[in-house]
Structure 1
Amino acid sequence: MQEITPAEVHALDDVVILDVREPHELERARIDGALHIPLGELLARVDEVPRDTTVYTLCHVGGRSAQAAAYLESIGVDAVNVTGGIVEWHRQGLPLTFDSPS
């Protein structure tokens, strides 16, 4: 499985970040513009995942997003896991929104 650091993915243009955390986790911190599909819903909602670009998967610290990336790769999606998840994203000082999603 391919992996990338939060700083590396943030430096790219026009990326698709798939956040597989649960809705209550998004209330704490989220990346604006990310696609949100909880891991438990990914099988049922996989048609919402773009197939024509690389998808960067993200969760809290990297475990669930690694599972999501592995699944997406198995069905032919170019998926890359963001190492360290939202925790590492925050540690690296990258932009986050901390209020509840609207």
Structure 2
Amino acid sequence: MFGSQVPTVTVNELDDATYLLDVREDDEWAAGHAPGAHHLPMMELPARMAEVPTDRDVAVICRSGGRSAQVVAYLMRNGWDQVRNVSGGMGDWAAAGRPVVGDDGQPGRVL
């Protein structure tokens, strides 16, 4: 859909210094998200762009990579240059054995 226009990163290439931005909906986030991720639903991004850092690497994640690719393209059009799409999204995150937590702090699941 977005091809080589959107820079990507795999789950295994992420490091702890990267700002992980989860753009899924509230119910998806509540069911399970990456510990330390920052939640900003895709549709709220235009009004809350100031919350996304411009001075460090940002990796954008959703369930499978489609919405996050759109967000990366949008951020790039608006001046972000250190932003990448997490290919495979939370599905790949969970498949790689990375932790997923729910809003209650208990083990979560990817919706």
| TM-score when normalising by structure 1 | 0.91
Instruction: In structure 1, list runs of 5 or more residues that go unmatched.
Output: none
Q: Displaced runs of 4+ in structure 1, greater than 4 A? A: none
Instruction: In structure 2, list runs of 5 or more residues that go unmatched.
Output: 1-5, 106-111
Structure 2 partner of 1:4: 9
Q: Percent identity?
A: 40
User: What is the root-mean-square deviation in Å for CA atoms of aligned residues?
Assistant: 1.3
Q: 1:21 aligns with which of 21, 24, 43?
A: 24
Check the 8 A contact 1:7/1:94 in 2, yes or no. no
C-alpha deviation, 1:73, in angstroms = 0.9
C-alpha deviation, 1:101, in angstroms = 4.8
| TM-score when normalising by structure 2 | 0.84
* CA gap 1:101/1:65 in 2 versus in 1, 3 angstroms: farther
C-alpha deviation, 1:100, in angstroms = 2.3
Q: 1:59-102, CA deviations, whole angstroms, 9 ceiling, x for partnerless residues?
A: 000000000001111111121000010011001111221x3257
Aligned-partner Cα distance in 2 for 1:4–1:91:
16
Check the 8 A contact 1:26/1:101 in 2, yes or no. no
Structure 2 partner of 1:83: 87
